[in-house]
Structure formats: C-alpha cells, structure tokens
Amino acid sequence: MIGSPLVLATRNRGKLAEFRRLLAGHAWRVLALDEAGVDAELDEPGPGYADNALAKAVAASAACGLPALGDDSGIEVEALRGWPGPESARWMGPDAGDADRLAGLIAEVERRSPEDRRVRYMAAVALARPGADPVIAHGSCTGVLVPPRGRAGFGYDPAFLSTDLGITFGEAEAAAKDAVSHRARALRRLAESGVLDPAPGSL
C-alpha cells in the first residue's frame, strides 16, 4: 500500500471494510485502530452524529499522532420523529447484536407506525489531523423499512429498501451500495473540501 497513513476510528468490521472501499481512490494508507496501536475504546459522548464522529476522530488521532477518520451513523424512522437516530447501535443495550436490533426496530415500527415505514440513514464523518482544524461532513439516503432481504452489508441494511436502488442494502452489491449510501455521500462532501485529496474517478 502507498500513501499517507489514515486511521479509521472504528472497531466495527463492517464499517472498516466499507470505508476501505470508499477511500480506495484517495491518497491514503488506511489503518485499523489495532494497526495504529490504538488500544483505548473510543467514547461517543453525543448528543448528535457529528459530536460522536468528531470525538472518535480526535481521540484516535491524539492516541497515535496520525490523521484519523471517525464516523457516526444511524437509521431514523420518519413517523417516529427520527428515532432511534444516534442511538441506533445502543437503544437495545450493550448485549444486543445486529440481528437483535434489526428485529427490534421492525417490531417497534410495526407496533407504533405500521402505516408509515419511511426511514433514512444518516451519517457524519470527521477528519482529525495533528496541527489542523478538524473537518466534518454529513450524508443521508432514504428508504423504506421492509422484512429483511439479503445477506450483504451490516446493521439495518437487510431491511433498508433503498429509494435509489429499489432493493435492500442487504441485497445490493458493494459497488451499488457504495454509490448511494449515507457514508459515501458524507465522504463525497468531505472530499469537496479538499482534505481527502481525491484522485480522478474517485468519490
């Protein structure tokens, strides 16, 4: 690999794989936290996506002295005023896994808003660099919550029927999801600021 090192401030394997794909066209050598020697857990102080993304990026960068990219994302149910939002990964407690949260969300929507299943994915990404001000960008995509379909992606992807694709993110090929996802759109906006040094044909 070539390029300057960039640490991804996440221990979520799905996010790690996705960000490595999304950053493939940029001049970075992407490192996981373990590869950068960052052992500490990264706190998410909230209350919003940007707060969490920034906190993780700043903490990871400070721990290893390298640029770090943090993100926070969630799914928001239109009829439930954006719930669970930034709590998407935590609302069922620390012992719940992806399958538990997915089933729980579907049950809650069926109970509380069965006639309106509109949802959106939201993401904030933050780039922290030693000696420079951090940069934050946001992205979103819309869909409808459906019974799970497909085995691709992670989190709520199998039940997120994408408005753009007409299939769930769980059914989508990686390249198709990467063209329209909330994280991809946030990174595009980050690239527009010039900090990602985008290569021709990249985001």
**Which residues are identified as catalytic?**
72
Dist CA 80 CA 116 (whole Å): 9
Question: Of 6, 155, 112, 111, which is closest to residue 69 (Cα–Cα)?
Answer: 6
Question: Of 195, 202, 199, 201, which is closest to residue 69 (Cα–Cα)?
Answer: 195
CB of 109 within 8 A of CB of 97?
no
- Helix, coil or strand: residue 125: strand
Element (H, E) at 31: strand 28-31
CB of 49 within 8 A of CB of 122?
yes
Dist CA 178 CA 133 (whole Å): 27
